Structure 1
Amino acid sequence: MPWLGCSLLLLLVIGCTDGEQHDDAYPRRPIKLIVPFAAGGGSDTFGRVIQNAIETHRLLPERLVIINVPGAGGTIGSRRVKHARPDGYTLLLLHEGILTARHSGSAAYGAEAFVPIAGTGNATQVVAVRDDSTYSDLPSLMREASRNPDSIVFSANIGAPSHFAGLMLQAKQPGSKFRYTQTGGGAKRFAALQGGHADVSSFSIAEYVQFKLSGIRALALLGPERHPDLPDLGTAIEQGFDVESQNMQFWWAPLGTPPDRVETIADALAAAMQTDEVRQTLAEMKITDTVLRGAALEAELQRRERRIAEVAPSAAVELPDFAMIALGCLALTAVAAFIRAVRRRSSGVPRPAADRTERETSAHTGQLAAIGCTTVCYVITLQFQLVRFVPITAAYALLIGGILVWPLIQSRRINATKATVALLIVSVLMSVVMHYLFTEVLVVDLP
């Protein structure tokens, strides 16, 4: 097949030119910051405060563009960054939900799948109940949770820090157990309390201050010390429960990102956190203007990881690898078809001219099988990032086109050389245009 050699040549040529051009100047184009939650939430607001400071004070030569990728408790957005090219142009902003997701079974990976850039801010959690609740303090709540396990409904975002706040509390009271209900973000958890669908939940200080006048009451602060905005609220530690739950906003890069680029971003974040407008805004949001990087950041992540691992629920049930099962079924089908074809040829039974329809059907089936196998190889190559998007897509389009026009070439209805040149031009243009559409217009990271 003439296009087979062309496709291999195309793969080599474009592969050589499509690679990233290493340049000491960074960044040379806008940086995408993936916020794995909906716009308007706490993480999104925090990210935009830092983004505004970076642009206002020109802390980076290029823009920081926030892209909201909500869903699955932050794992959809984090997975995108995990598989992004490690060039410093795709970053992730995700609090310790990146740690709780793995321990709750929501994700198969955690902090080890990324390069930590910095930890910024610290939002302490508050345990709260309705104003008319019979629980006057944290000990009374935990005694009831111990006397009647599973009777107190804890509103949480399962697998997120709000869920683990409850798990940490019940771990400190022997025999206690909450009945967790999946609710969602702070506003939804407040609605669950207010509507009588839940008995207790955890909120950030900013959320609690916002909802307090609408009918909720705090039992304890889950921080190492009292907060100046809530001076009369005792900590869980003061009430006999050694529990801390503080949400820090962590910045991550794909594994393999050059250290100098990680440092460039860390420097910009540290500078942004020192600006007056950021400090003022974070004070209004009841967030401590903390900045951790380097060894201090690693130590804090390990400390939080240990604390979360101690109370993590049982591991999730391992699901079958459906992708490999499907691939195995396809391979078995191909082998069965090949054996059948060999047996027919070796039988030596003469085929009458009237059997032309059957031969055409067989040829069509073989064509579909070739297209299917080529498509599977293409998807696997993209999934494991074995080859860059442009060359593999161009080669795939060339092969598929060749498979489709081969019968016409065999019957001499079209010229082989002209068909190959036309397919080569179309496949290259299509791959380049698709790459531009996905990366520049739809802002989707490709291998």
Structure 2
Amino acid sequence: MKTLAGLAVAALLAVTGSAGAQDAWPNKPIKLVVPFQAGGTSDQVGRTLANAIQEGNLLPQPVTIVNVGGHFSIGSRRVMEAAPDGYEFLLIHIALMGGEGTGALDFGWRDYKPVAATGEFCVMPMVRKDSGINSMEELLAKAKAEPDTLIFGANLGAINHLAGLMIQEAEPGAKFRFVQIGGGTANFTALTGAQTNTTVLSGAEVINFTLMPDGSENPDSQIKPLAYTGAERFEGLAEIPTMKELGYDVEFCIKSWIFAPKDTPDEVVSSFADALETAAASDAYKKFNEDKGFANVFLRGEDVAADLQTTWDAIEPIAELAKQK
């Protein structure tokens, strides 16, 4: 951690030529725009990283979180059009690609300069315990035998919708009826209230909704996870098989991406990535990931560029399907 922090300082000196220069970066607070309301997962990721940067004294100026509510396109466009001076960055997830792929946005991830990717979570398709459905095979068989009748709660064009489409495509002929519900809590409520028949939730959300604080099963829980879309089983619910274990070629996981305006100097992007990488290695951020059930990953440079392209290659055809729903 000290080595990375030292590299960050060295990079800053290289950019400015002098630590005390008038035009040193950063010489004012850095804004990290989260294009969602405060309190959500993206907001928590941003604030945990910002606090780790400040507590570790990794930059001479603080990183401040700016929440831009409403549709995520508003905050995303704000950063895309911001001055490329290193004082405004975007923190977002796969919704940016979903928006581009479905045609909801007239811009996309290639209109930015990538800085880093961090944290990763996958999802669990589920039903109510009283549904009579006890496996992924039964769920997809019903979606195939009775197409467009199983109501799938989603935030159309976003994470749970894209995941549901990918799961649906694993069984030729299967078809869910996707309806607009919202995020994780809203979909949990709709599912338990029998307004929907199925949805997906993150591993952390499933634990929150199904387990007691001591780790025992909540007897009042009404939901039943059927599988996990990660490459390996989710540690917090290790009894749940992965989709691939069940014979379905489905892997769907989401990282938080940090972007800069397209023409931001490489030196500034590299310096900010240094600070973020050290922050991501802090005990506080590792604990945050552990508590949320996120994988403690961090990508930058060519690695994050490759991850973006790989993710787009997988998401683009699924997002095209969303246009038809």
Report the TM-score when normalising by structure 1: 0.64
Q: Which residue of 2 aligns with 1:230?
A: 237
Q: Which residue of 1 aligns with 2:3?
A: none
Identity in percent: 40
Give SS of 2:185's match.
Answer: helix
Q: Which residue of 2 aligns with 1:279?
A: 286
For residues 390-437 of structure 1, give each alpha carbon's deviation from its aligned partner in whole angstroms, at most 9, with x where no partner exists.
xxxxxxxxxxxxxxxxxxxxxxxxxxxxxxxxxxxxxxxxxxxxxxxx
Q: Which residue of 2 aligns with 1:25?
A: 24
Shift of 1:134: 1.5
Q: Which residue of 2 aligns with 1:243?
A: 250
Q: Which residue of 2 aligns with 1:189?
A: 187
Q: Which residue of 2 aligns with 1:299?
A: 306
Between the two structures, name the one with larger relative contact order (CA 8 Å, sep ≥ 6): 2
Establish whether residue 216 from structure 1 lines up as the match of residue 223 from structure 2.
Answer: yes
- Give the Cα separation in 1 of the matches to 2:254 and 2:22: 36
For the pair shown, which has the larger CA radius of gyration, 1 or 2? 1
1:61-140 alignment, distance < 5 Å: 61-72=60-71, 74-140=72-138
Q: Which residue of 2 aligns with 1:158?
A: 156
- Give the Cα separation in 2 of the matches to 1:238 and 1:211: 24
For residues 169-219 of structure 1, give each alpha carbon's deviation from its aligned partner in whole angstroms, at most 9, with x where no partner exists.
111211111100111111101111011111111111111111123321101
Q: Which residue of 1 aligns with 2:259?
A: 252
Q: 1:171 aligns with which of 169, 182, 202?
A: 169
Shift of 1:236: 0.6
Q: Is the 8 A contact 1:105 1:315 kept in 2?
A: no
For residues 13-43 of structure 1, give each alpha carbon's deviation from its aligned partner in whole angstroms, at most 9, with x where no partner exists.
xxxxxxxxx9662111001111011111111
- Give the Cα separation in 1 of the matches to 2:43 and 2:246: 33
Q: Which residue of 1 aligns with 2:52?
A: 53
Give SS of 2:138's match.
Answer: helix
What's the RMSD between the two structures over aligned residues? 1.5
- Give the Cα separation in 2 of the matches to 1:89 and 1:274: 23
Shift of 1:75: 1.2
Report the TM-score when normalising by structure 2: 0.88
For residues 144-186 of structure 1, give each alpha carbon's deviation from its aligned partner in whole angstroms, at most 9, with x where no partner exists.
1111110111101111111100111111211111100111111
Runs of 4+ displaced beyond 2 Å: 312-317
Q: Is the 8 A contact 2:165 2:322 kept in 1?
A: no
Partner AA of 2:24 in structure 1: A
Q: Which residue of 2 aligns with 1:349?
A: none
- Paired positions, count: 295
Shift of 1:315: 8.2
Q: Which residue of 1 aligns with 2:10?
A: none
Partner AA of 1:98 in structure 2: L
Name the stretch that deviates more: 212-221 or 258-267. Answer: 212-221
- Give the Cα separation in 2 of the matches to 1:197 and 1:106: 26
Q: Which residue of 2 aligns with 1:394?
A: none
Shift of 1:316: 5.8
Q: Which residue of 1 aligns with 2:198?
A: 200
> Between Structure 1 and Structure 2, which shows a larger proportion of strand residues?
2
Give SS of 1:98's match.
Answer: helix
For residues 360-412 of structure 1, give each alpha carbon's deviation from its aligned partner in whole angstroms, at most 9, with x where no partner exists.
xxxxxxxxxxxxxxxxxxxxxxxxxxxxxxxxxxxxxxxxxxxxxxxxxxxxx
- Give the Cα separation in 2 of the matches to 1:24 and 1:244: 46
Give SS of 1:132's match.
Answer: helix
Partner AA of 2:29 in structure 1: P
Q: Is the 8 A contact 1:161 1:245 kept in 2?
A: no
1:396-415 alignment, distance < 5 Å: none
Shift of 1:99: 0.8
Q: Which residue of 2 aligns with 1:17?
A: none
1:427-446 alignment, distance < 5 Å: none
- Give the Cα separation in 1 of the matches to 2:323 and 2:317: 16
Q: Is the 8 A contact 2:227 2:242 kept in 1?
A: yes
Q: Which residue of 2 aligns with 1:377?
A: none
Shift of 1:310: 2.1
- Give the Cα separation in 1 of the matches to 2:280 and 2:315: 27
For residues 47-74 of structure 1, give each alpha carbon's deviation from its aligned partner in whole angstroms, at most 9, with x where no partner exists.
11111111101111101110110222x1
Q: Which residue of 1 aligns with 2:37?
A: 38
- Give the Cα separation in 1 of the matches to 2:274 and 2:43: 21
CA 1:84–1:175: 2 relative to 1, 3 Å: same
